[in-house]
Structure formats: structure tokens, C-alpha cells
């Protein structure tokens, strides 16, 4: 008995360290990168202008990743977000250019996001009531959207006739903070409140933990997939709309392709932060910031672009490994 007692005493510090590292390791990595890049390029990296630049660079990714977090809380993988981002930007610019007298910027933004959300609802209905995997359903939807955008646009980018009021969404600023940053933070705050402080959010987490147990406890499980996928689609559409406003162009293809894998990476990295094994908005923000700091810091130091992808991949593997270790220790 004495031997087992000593073994337990010896093992507990290791377990505590593993728990601490799993909970705070990503956050510590972010702080360490900030310190390293600040020391390496003290004249550029730690300046207010550059830090705001980092936030601006991650604003579109963050907006899309926040929406994706809601889906992943339920265990739903939405692969249509890349195509949905393209749709969001192109539809808004198309309406403004083709109907300048009848449709203003607020109406164009609303219609664009409403279409994206409606497609998300359709995805959710397919998943809930036909029993098709969200992975397959959203992959098919993304392909349909991509084809439709190319057909409607005749593969031509809209570059003229876009009003300045629309481009202000991506190029304007309030008190020195760019509008995309403010939009990202507003979306993040709204979804954080939804997931953490509403009954709907608690139900989403419960369904993600066990759909069958949630159903037996009285939760209308089938109603939540359309809701979650609609939010994810609207956020992706908003991200694409922001990209169109930044560029001052409505592209019918490829707008969201560069954000798809990074959005998943940010959310999974975030799932190893603060609350390991659970997807949550604050963790996603940390993941997005980590990606943004890496890309910005390595670019400032003149490191080739391919290293950015390698480092992101290594961080994602490390995040998944730490979350996996914690899950094994719990069991």
C-alpha cells in the first residue's frame, strides 16, 4: 500500500503539468512568438501599426472561423465555407452593379447574407432529416455553388461600378481601427454570447457531446443542424463580402479557397486552448491570432512563404496531440 501511495504522489505532478500544458500551451506559444518576433525585429513587429495590421489580416479568417466553430461544437464539418465566401462577395457586388438605383449597400449585404444563410439551412435539413453526413452534404453544396457562380458570372470578375460605400466596409476605419477588425470582433462577441450564455448554446454543446443523450433528455436535436449551418454559412458569406470590399472587386471563383484549411486549423488549434477538447470562440480567436502572428512575423523576417504552411501544420499537429493526451489521461 505504501508503494502505491508513493507512486500516486509521484505521478500527480506530472499529470498536473500535462493538464496545465494542454490548457495553456497554445496561449504560451502565442506569447512566446510575440516576444521572439519583437526581439528579432524591434523596429517593425511590436509597433501599434503592425499589430493593427495583423488584426486586419486575420479579420476575414477570424469571421469565417467563428462561424465554423458553431458547427464544430455540434460535430458538423462544413466544407462549403470556401464557396460560400465567394458567393457572399460576388452576389453583393453583382446586385450593386446591376441594380444601382433599386438596391443600396445595406440591402445588397442583407440579401447576400440571407442567401448564404438559406443555403446553410438547406444543408442542415439534408443532414438532419435525410441522415447524410455534413461532410458530404456541404462538399456537394460547395461544388454546386462554385458552378453556379461561374455560370452566372460567365467567369468574369466585377471590377467597375462598385460604390464607395460598399468598399468602405473593407477599407474604412473608425478611430484608427479598420472596419474588418470591428466586424470580426462583433461577430466573435455575438457568437461567444450565444454559445456561452444562452440555452441554445448549451444545447449545441450537449448535442456535440452526445446527440442520442440530448434527444432522450428532450432536446429537439434535428432543429439545431440547420441553425448551426446557417450561422456558419452567413459568417463565411460575410467573410467573402469583406474580401470583396477590401479588393474592390467581385470575384466569381477562389475567394474562400485560401481560408478553408486555415479556418479549420484555427478552430482545432483553439480547441486545445483553455478548455482542451472543446471548441469555443475564445480558443478560436487564439488560434486565428497564432496563425496571423506566424504569417506576419515570418514575412517581416523575410522567411519564405512555404515555411508559414509548414509551421502552421506543425502547430496543428501539436495542438491535436496535446488535446489527445489530455483525453487519454481523463479516461
Q: Could you read off the pLDDT of 110-160 as tens digits, one per residue?
A: 999 999 999 999 999 999 999 999 999 999 999 999 999 999 999 899 999
Task: Name residues whose C-beta falls within 8 Å of residue 330's C-beta, 6 or more positions apart in sequence.
Answer: none
pTM as predicted: 0.90
For residues 327 and 264, state if they share a domain. Answer: yes
Where does a domain end: 213, 234, 255? 255
57 within some domain:
no
293 within some domain:
yes
pLDDT of 312: 73
For residues 157 and 115, state if they share a domain. Answer: yes
For residues 141 and 242, state if they share a domain. Answer: yes
Encode pLDDT of 148-200 as tens digits.
999 999 989 999 999 999 999 999 999 999 999 999 999 999 999 999 999 99
174 within some domain:
yes
Residues above pLDDT 90, as percent of the chain: 73
For residues 203 and 93, state if they share a domain. Answer: yes
Q: How confident is the model at residue 319 (pLDDT cuts 50, 70, 90)?
A: low
327 within some domain:
yes
For residues 140 and 238, state if they share a domain. Answer: yes
For residues 152 and 214, state if they share a domain. Answer: yes
Where does a domain end: 205, 232, 255? 255
Encode pLDDT of 262-305 as tens digits.
999 899 888 877 777 789 999 999 999 999 999 999 899 888 88
pLDDT of 5: 47
For residues 119 and 216, state if they share a domain. Answer: yes
For residues 160 and 271, state if they share a domain. Answer: no
For residues 249 and 291, state if they share a domain. Answer: no
For residues 226 and 297, state if they share a domain. Answer: no
243 within some domain:
yes
Instruction: Give mean pLDDT, residues 7-27.
Output: 62
240 within some domain:
yes
For residues 236 and 307, state if they share a domain. Answer: no
63 within some domain:
no
Where does a domain end: 240, 255, 270? 255
Q: pLDDT at residue 6 above 50?
A: no
66 within some domain:
no
For residues 153 and 221, state if they share a domain. Answer: yes
| Residue ranges making up the domain that contains 234 | 73-187+197-255
> What is the number of domains present in the chain?
2
Amino acid at each position: 500500500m505504501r508503494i502505491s501511495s508513493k507512486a500516486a504522489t509521484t505521478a500527480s505532478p506530472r499529470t498536473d503539468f500535462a493538464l496545465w500544458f494542454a490548457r495553456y500551451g497554445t496561449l504560451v506559444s502565442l506569447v512566446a512568438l510575440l516576444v521572439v518576433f519583437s526581439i528579432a525585429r524591434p523596429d517593425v513587429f511590436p509597433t501599434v501599426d503592425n499589430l493593427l495590421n495583423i488584426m486586419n489580416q486575420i479579420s476575414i479568417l477570424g469571421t469565417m472561423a467563428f462561424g465554423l466553430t458553431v458547427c464544430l461544437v455540434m460535430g458538423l464539418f462544413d466544407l462549403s465555407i470556401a464557396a460560400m465566401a465567394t458567393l457572399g462577395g460576388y452576389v453583393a457586388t453583382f446586385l450593386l452593379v446591376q441594380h444601382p438605383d433599386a438596391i443600396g449597400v445595406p440591402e445588397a449585404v442583407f440579401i447576400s447574407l440571407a442567401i448564404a444563410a438559406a443555403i446553410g439551412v438547406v444543408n442542415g435539413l439534408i443532414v438532419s432529416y435525410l441522415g447524410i453526413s455534413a461532410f458530404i452534404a456541404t462538399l456537394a453544396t460547395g461544388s454546386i455553388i462554385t458552378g453556379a457562380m461561374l455560370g452566372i458570372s460567365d467567369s468574369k470578375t466585377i471590377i467597375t461600378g462598385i460604390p464607395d460605400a460598399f468598399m468602405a466596409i473593407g477599407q474604412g476605419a473608425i478611430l484608427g481601427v479598420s472596419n474588418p477588425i470591428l466586424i470580426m470582433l462583433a461577430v466573435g462577441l455575438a457568437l461567444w454570447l450565444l454559445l456561452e450564455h444562452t440555452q441554445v448554446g448549451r444545447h449545441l454543446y450537449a448535442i456535440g457531446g452526445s446527440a442520442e443523450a440530448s434527444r432522450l433528455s428532450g432536446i429537439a436535436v434535428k432543429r439545431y443542424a440547420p441553425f448551426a449551418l446557417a450561422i456558419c454559412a452567413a459568417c463565411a458569406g460575410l467573410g467573402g463580402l469583406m474580401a470583396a470590399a477590401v479588393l474592390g472587386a467581385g470575384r466569381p471563383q477562389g475567394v474562400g479557397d485560401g481560408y478553408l484549411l486555415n479556418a479549420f486549423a484555427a478552430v482545432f488549434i483553439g480547441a486545445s486552448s483553455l478548455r482542451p477538447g472543446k471548441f469555443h470562440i475564445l480558443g478560436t480567436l487564439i488560434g486565428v491570432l497564432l496563425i496571423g502572428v506566424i504569417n506576419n512575423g515570418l514575412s517581416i523576417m523575410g522567411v519564405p512563404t512555404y515555411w508559414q504552411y509548414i509551421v502552421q501544420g506543425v502547430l496543428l499537429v501539436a495542438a491535436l496531440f496535446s488535446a489527445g493526451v489530455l483525453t487519454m489521461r481523463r479516461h
